Structure 1
Amino acid sequence: MPNSPAPAQRHRLYEDLQALLTGTLLVAIGLALFRQAGLMTGGTVGLAFLLHYASGWPFGWLFFAINLPFYLLAWKRMGKRFTLKTLGAVSLLALLSSWLPQWLRFEAVAPLFAALAGGLLLGVGFVILFRHRASLGGLNLLVLLLQERFGWRAGWLQLGLDGAILLAAWPWLDLQRLLLSMLAAAAMNTALAVNHRPGRYMAF
């Protein structure tokens, strides 16, 4: 008789804190590579990058401000625990993005390496956060709400929004960097697809 699967185990507080720190640190390093190479990404991170390139304002504080309207959606859809963890992750990423240039400096980064390594770091960072019921906020919550209300496919909506963000960055990106940004998005989503599948991770 086959063994029954082990029951899901709730993460302890210290495990969640370690995951928030590790996940956001990986994302922050990936974004530092993007910034050094002049690359873009989608989602609320991409919106913050777009405004950062356009205005010169600090990325971290732009990212924090853009996410503020989405917390109400998170509270309604995902509950208090998820919203508070997401607020913690967004706040931590905003701080790390501001502090990291003082701790880590790149003299030169090959754009292709930045796209692949940065995309994979973002993907793994998101996996860690997702497995601990947290996120870096934003547009994914909006597209889920639109899918629920109007029946629009969330995947296609997310793809369209990310594509629009990348195209809006055209004045600050040449064709090579735009294509590399698309490659970075593919690397990130590959890391997510391979490492974040239902049934592979039992804790919550």
Structure 2
Amino acid sequence: MADTADNPAPLQQHKWYEDVQAILLGTLLLSFGVTLYSEAMLITGGVAGTSLLVEFGTPLSFGPVFFVLNLPFYILSIMRMGWGFTLRTFACIALISALTRLIPLWADFSFLAPSFAAVMGAAMMGVGLVVLLRHRAGIGGVTILSQFLQDKGVMRAGLFQLIVDLTILIVALFMLPLKLVALSIIGAFVLNLTVAINHKPGRYRGMS
């Protein structure tokens, strides 16, 4: 029988190896996208964007900063999303922290056009994020905090995320050339469009 609105396909439980494959693929795509942004000195939103700004302004590298900044959010993740999601998210964050240090050792970026990095890096991060979301994993940080604040009636999740991302952009204006900030805004559009088109509710029937 064909799937219809009245008879949707049943949810299918992911096998453990499917979750492992998705986490490895998703984090690799995200890490490569972040590496392109790091090499081109572009920024993105959330904890990843904050970590890039720290990398640009200090001797610290993205990986360790990203890992440490996400630590406070695990408690909220356990409270709101449960242990399964939190453990998968911890694995994702640890892998991204490691891979963003290893990829520059595996690939030579002697020339990288910022415009290409903005679009391709954002697309890779968007696809990687969709892969993780479909297997109930994430990259922690601001998304979890925004949902927690919304649940407590403090602030709408979208508004809080917008405030955080605007703050990152304002700080970036004092650290980066205007052209790179503008390209980062284009990248943010590409990333969010990629997620919005490919992660619509009900389109994917798998579950972890």
TM over 0.5: same fold? yes
Q: Residues 128-147 of structure 1: matches in 2 within 5 Å? A: 128-147=131-150
Letter in 2 for 1:140: T
Name the SS of the counterpart of 1:109 in structure 2.
Answer: coil
Q: Residues 50-61 of structure 1: matches in 2 within 5 Å? A: 50-61=53-64
- What residue number does 2:18 align with? 15
Q: Alpha-carbon deviation of 1:2?
A: 6.5
CA deviations over 1:98-156 (Å, ceiling 9, x no partner): 11111012121111111111111110000000000000110011111111112522112
Q: Distance in 2 between matches of 1:126 and 1:60?
A: 17
Quick one: which of 71, 78, 81 aligns to 1:78?
81
Q: Distance in 2 between matches of 1:2 and 1:130?
A: 26
Q: TM-score, normalised by structure 2?
A: 0.95
Q: Percent identity?
A: 44
- What residue number does 2:97 align with? 94
Letter in 2 for 1:108: F
Q: Residues 1-204 of structure 1: matches in 2 within 5 Å? A: 4-150=7-153, 152-204=155-207
CA deviations over 1:62-95 (Å, ceiling 9, x no partner): 1000000000000000000000000000000001
Name the SS of the counterpart of 2:10 in structure 1.
Answer: coil
Name the SS of the counterpart of 1:81 in structure 2.
Answer: helix
Letter in 2 for 1:71: Y
Letter in 2 for 1:65: V
Structure 1's unaligned 5+ residue stretches are: none
Q: Distance in 2 between matches of 1:162 and 1:18?
A: 30
Q: TM-score, normalised by structure 1?
A: 0.96
Structure 2's unaligned 5+ residue stretches are: none
Q: Distance in 2 between matches of 1:154 and 1:186?
A: 18
Q: Distance in 2 between matches of 1:100 and 1:36?
A: 11
Moved more, 159-168 or 148-157: 148-157
Q: Distance in 1 between matches of 2:37 and 2:129?
A: 16
Q: Alpha-carbon deviation of 1:7?
A: 1.3
Letter in 2 for 1:110: A
